Structure 1
Amino acid sequence: MYIPAQFKEQDPDTLFQMIEHCPLGTLITHSEGTLDAIHIPFEINREEGEIGCLIGHVARANPVWRSVANGDEVLVVFRGGDAYISPNWYPSKQQTHRQVPTWNYRAVHVRGQITFRQDESFLRDVVAKLTKTHESTQPIPWSMEDAPADYISAMLKAIVGVEIKILQITGAMKLGQNKNADDLRSAGENVINAGNEIIGEAMLSHLKIKDSR
C-alpha cells in the first residue's frame, strides 16, 4: 500500500500489538481470476518463521480452502479504527484558513503464504488460543472443557485451519503527525468528543511521543 513517509510505522512490536488489539483481519485471496475477501479473527505466533505467522480458521463450508492452493500468496488487512477530521478542529484554521478535511486511520497489511490445516491437533490449538485470548476479559471465562467432548469434536470437523507464514508486514498510522502540537491536540480531543476514542487516544498518544523528544 502507498504510505507517505510521515505515516509509515516500521516498528514490528507496534504493528503486532495493533493486530493483537484489533484481531479481526480481512483475508484477501486470488484464485481462478477472482478476488475474494473473508473476515476472520487471527492469533499471532511471533516465534514461527523469520517474522512470525498468523493462525485462524474458516468454516469447512467456505470454498476458499478448496480454491486457494497451499503456498499461495495472500494479503491480510487489519484496521485499528478511523475517524473523519474537520478543519474546524485545528486552531490554526481560525488564523490562516489553510486547512482541509482529512481522514485519520490505522492499518496493518500482512503479506504471506497460506496453508490450510485439517489435523485435529492444530484445530484444537487454534480454537483454544482464540478462546483463551477473547474469554480472558469475561468474569467466568469459557473453555473448550465446558462443552461435551463429542460436541467439540463435531465442531472441529466443521472448520479448516488457516496458517499464514508472514513474508512482509507494513503499517500506516495516519494520526496527524504532519500537524503542529496545538492542532494535533485539539483534533484528538474533538475526535474523542465525537465518540471515537480509539483514534483520538492514538492521536494524543502520538502527541506525548512528540513532546518527549
Structure 2
Amino acid sequence: MYNPPHFREDRLEILLPIMQAPRMALLACQGPDGVPSLSHLPLLTDGATVVGHLARANGQVAALRAAGRAVAVFTGAEGYVSPNSYASKAEHHRVVPTWNYEAVHAEGPVELIDDAERLRGIVARLTDHHEARSAAPWSVDDAPAPFIAGQLKGIVGVVLRVEVLTGKRKLSQNRTEADRAGVLRDAAPDLAAAMRTA
C-alpha cells in the first residue's frame, strides 16, 4: 500500500477499532502461477491474530496452504471529496477530486484449521462478536449439535498471526485548515468523525 508519511497511522488504539468494525474484510495471498487469491470474509481480530473461515470448496484454501502467508485488509470510514469542498478552489482553482479513507493491512503467516473443536471455537467467537448487538443473541449452541457438526465439515478455519500491521488514514491531513474545514462540512458523519482524530 502506498503510504506517504502524513497518512501513516501506527496507533493501535486507532487501528484496532477499524479492524474490529462489523464489516467485510479482504483476505489475500499469493495464488497459483502468481495470480493473487482473494476472498471477502468477516474476520475477527485482537490485533495479534486474525481469525475467520472459508468454504472448504474455496480455491483459496489450497492457495493459502501453498503460500503460508496472507494479508487481511480492513477498511474504515471513506468517501469522495469534491473540489467544491475546498476553500482554495475560490482562490486559485488548482484542486482536483480525491477520496478520503482508512485502511489497515495485517500481514503474517497463516494456519489452516481442520480440527472440529478449534473450528467450532472460531465460528462461536465470530458469531458471539456479531450477535452481541442483538437484544436476543443467537448462539452456535442454539442449533442442534449434529447440524453444526455437519456445517463445520464444509469450512476451514484461518488463523493469521500478525507480523506486520500497516495503517493508512488519508483524511485531508495534507490540506490547509480552511480546506479541511470544507471537507469536514461536506463529509458523511463517520468520515467527519474519523477526520477529527487524524
TM-score computed with the length of structure 2 as normaliser: 0.91
Q: Which deviations, in whole Å up to 9, do the C-alpha atoms of 1:170-211 show, x marking residues without a partner?
A: 01100011122232122122122xxxx3223212343xxxxx
Residues 1:190 and 2:186 aligned together: yes
Residues 1:116 and 2:112 aligned together: yes
Deviation at 1:118, TM superposition (A): 0.7
Structure 1 Cα separation of the partners of residues 30 and 192 of structure 2: 35
Deviation at 1:71, TM superposition (A): 6.6
Amino acid at match of 2:120: R
Amino acid at match of 2:129: T
Structure 1 Cα separation of the partners of residues 60 and 76 of structure 2: 25
Residues 1:57 and 2:60 aligned together: no
- Which structure 2 residues correspond to residues 112-151 of structure 1 after superposition, within 5 A? 112-151=108-147
Q: Which deviations, in whole Å up to 9, do the C-alpha atoms of 1:130-189 show, x marking residues without a partner?
A: 111111111211111211111111111111100111110101100011122232122122
Structure 2 Cα separation of the partners of residues 43 and 76 of structure 1: 10
- CA change 1:131–1:171 in 2 (3 A) is same
Structure 2 Cα separation of the partners of residues 68 and 91 of structure 1: 48
Structure 1 Cα separation of the partners of residues 194 and 89 of structure 2: 22
Where structure 2 has 5 or more consecutive residues not aligned to the other structure, the ranges are: none
Q: CA RMSD in A?
A: 1.7
- Which structure 2 residues correspond to residues 24-43 of structure 1 after superposition, within 5 A? 24-33=24-33, 34-43=35-44
Amino acid at match of 1:133: H
Structure 1 Cα separation of the partners of residues 25 and 127 of structure 2: 17
Runs of 4+ in 1 over 3 A off after TM superposition: none
Matched residue count:
197
Residues 1:169 and 2:165 aligned together: yes
Structure 2 Cα separation of the partners of residues 140 and 160 of structure 1: 28
Report if aligned partners of 1:70, 1:116 keep a CA contact under 8 Å in 2. Answer: no
1:204 is aligned to: 196
Where structure 1 has 5 or more consecutive residues not aligned to the other structure, the ranges are: 47-51, 207-213
TM-score computed with the length of structure 1 as normaliser: 0.85
Residues 1:7 and 2:3 aligned together: no
Report if aligned partners of 1:83, 1:104 keep a CA contact under 8 Å in 2. Answer: yes
1:90 is aligned to: 86
Structure 2 Cα separation of the partners of residues 13 and 83 of structure 1: 22
Report if aligned partners of 1:76, 1:109 keep a CA contact under 8 Å in 2. Answer: yes
1:101 is aligned to: 97
Q: Which deviations, in whole Å up to 9, do the C-alpha atoms of 1:93-125 show, x marking residues without a partner?
A: 223333222111111111111111111121111
Structure 2 Cα separation of the partners of residues 32 and 101 of structure 1: 37
Deviation at 1:23, TM superposition (A): 4.7
Amino acid at match of 2:163: L
- CA change 1:127–1:184 in 2 (3 A) is same
Q: Which deviations, in whole Å up to 9, do the C-alpha atoms of 1:67-97 show, x marking residues without a partner?
A: 4326712122111132111111122322333
Percent of pairs with identical residues: 35
Deviation at 1:5, TM superposition (A): 0.8
